[in-house]
Structure 1
Amino acid sequence: MIELAVFDMAGTTIDDGGAVYRALSEAVTGAGATLSDSDLQAWMGTDKVQAITALLDLGDISPTDELVASRFAAFKVALAEAYRTDPPTAFDGVPEALASLRTRGIRVALSTGFDRPVVEGLLASLGWTVAEDPAAPISSSTTVDAVVTTSDVAAGRPAPYLIHHAMELTGVHDVARVLAAGDTLVDLQAARNAGAISVGVLTGALSRESLTEGPHDYIVGGVVDIPALAECRPA
């Protein structure tokens, strides 16, 4: 049985109606950069400062520190406004799936390409709570055991550090007993780089055909299907 399930947030556990996609696109094109859908998709799920830097460069705009900082600020403003006017919600069945895993003794962590301030506002809007001690006995009074953001690690996806830090926080030692799920190719790459069971979910923007291009052990419809994989081993 797995001991830890690590889930991406927007597009995986949380339905934000594509707000991150639009805010990132606007942040880059607002600087005059050209942007293709394929380039944007390639950088979805990564640290947003890193994504903006790369996308500006791909769009023939020199990504100076000052410009990247201003575009990241614009991204956060646009995202906050989108979340204010159309608050994100959990995908159907996700809270129940998370609770099911934790009831079985499987710890649950969220990982994200957002920084800590964005995540705290997002969790508050959903009413989701995080255990004060991620390694303490699992309590039904909280939603998840840990949340790891790009503010907490040296590098975001596709580096494995978000997943490994979730392991560190929850006291899980064996990567073979960790499942990591997400809706982007970099989610799958990060899971593979971490040595975890890599699961793609189809609740994001990518089709099954596109998602299967990434390194994966399983492709499922959504997080609601993850409890059925609790006994799984890498395919």
Structure 2
Amino acid sequence: MRDYQLLIFDWDGTLVDSIARIVEAMRVAAEVSGLPWRDDAAIRGIIGLGLPEAIATLYPELDDAQRIDAFRQRYGEHYNALERQPSPLFDGVAEALETFREQGYRLAVATGKSRRGLDHVLAGRGWLDYFDVTRCADETASKPDPRMLQEILAHCGVGAEQAVMVGDSPFDLRMAHRARMDSVAVGYGAQPLAELLKESPRLAIERFEELSHWLSGGLSRQSREVESYV
């Protein structure tokens, strides 16, 4: 069994199947704001960033503060409307998280969402007190800056070598690398494993349940372990 004490998860695309809703909300916000649509690949490519950083990446020409604020508001309104029926957890997530808790792991979330946005979706699941700690992009630095992870480690009193970051975007994995932390790439979210493997994760998986098997000391046929960069 591996010696991790703390498991840190991205939210969208890692625990929750919400990528399609993010893409739709971005497109609606762009249309209402009079901005050109970006294709799915472009929008999926910014998932994981804080919203200001995501907008700046998609629309670098947008430099008017009022228009940026209006875009953010329209995105949030549409996304929260979609989340009246919470996005489903990926298969195996609920069961695995409960097992991790029973096994004594501490659980955390590190997300590009705002605090208001994360609390909204956590409340929709009755999960406001589920995790030991959560950190959001608008209360710290956006991924891939490691500050979010460093703050989680400090809160939990855990060293980087005792924690692992699980995520579906290159920003998640780069953040872990900069915090000198192991990472697990999941290939069912925003980006395919072919892209994520470029960031040298410790493990690459296609189903969430494979994480439980690996943490217990095993390795399924579908998952791939690579040499750690730490």
**Common topology (TM > 0.5):** yes
Q: Deviations over 1:75-102 (max 9, x none)?
A: 1011011112x42122222122112222
% identical equivalent positions: 24
CA contact (8 A) 2:27 2:37 kept: no
Q: Deviations over 1:164-213 (max 9, x none)?
A: 111122121x2111100111111111111111111111221322223223
Cα displacement (A) at 1:231: 6.2
2:136 paired with 1:149: yes
1:134 matched to which residue of 2? none
1:117 matched to which residue of 2? 116
Alignment RMSD:
2.1
Residues matched between the structures, number? 217
Q: Would the alpha carbon gap of residues 17 and 42 (structure 1) be closer, same or farther in structure 2, given more than 3 Å must change?
A: closer
Letter of the 1:26 counterpart: V
1:204 corresponds to which of 168, 189, 208: 189
Q: Would the alpha carbon gap of residues 108 and 40 (structure 1) be closer, same or farther in structure 2, given more than 3 Å must change?
A: same
1:164 corresponds to which of 137, 145, 150: 150
1:43 matched to which residue of 2? 46
Divergent runs of 4+, >4 A: 231-234
Unpaired runs of at least 5, structure 1: 131-142
- CA distance, structure 1, for counterparts of residue 208 and residue 155 of structure 2: 22
CA contact (8 A) 1:182 1:199 kept: yes
Letter of the 1:168 counterpart: A
1:18 matched to which residue of 2? 20
Cα displacement (A) at 1:2: 0.4
2:198 paired with 1:213: yes
2:96 matched to which residue of 1? 97
1:175 corresponds to which of 147, 160, 177: 160
Cα displacement (A) at 1:31: 3.4
CA contact (8 A) 2:47 2:190 kept: no
2:164 paired with 1:184: no
Q: Would the alpha carbon gap of residues 188 and 114 (structure 1) be closer, same or farther in structure 2, given more than 3 Å must change?
A: same
2:32 paired with 1:32: no
- After TM superposition, the score normalised by the length of structure 2 is 0.85
Cα displacement (A) at 1:24: 2.3
2:5 matched to which residue of 1? 3
Q: Would the alpha carbon gap of residues 122 and 53 (structure 1) be closer, same or farther in structure 2, given more than 3 Å must change?
A: same
- After TM superposition, the score normalised by the length of structure 1 is 0.84
- CA distance, structure 2, for counterparts of residue 117 and residue 62 of structure 1: 24
Unpaired runs of at least 5, structure 2: 218-224
Q: Deviations over 1:129-168 (max 9, x none)?
A: 42xxxxxxxxxxxx32111111321x11011122111112
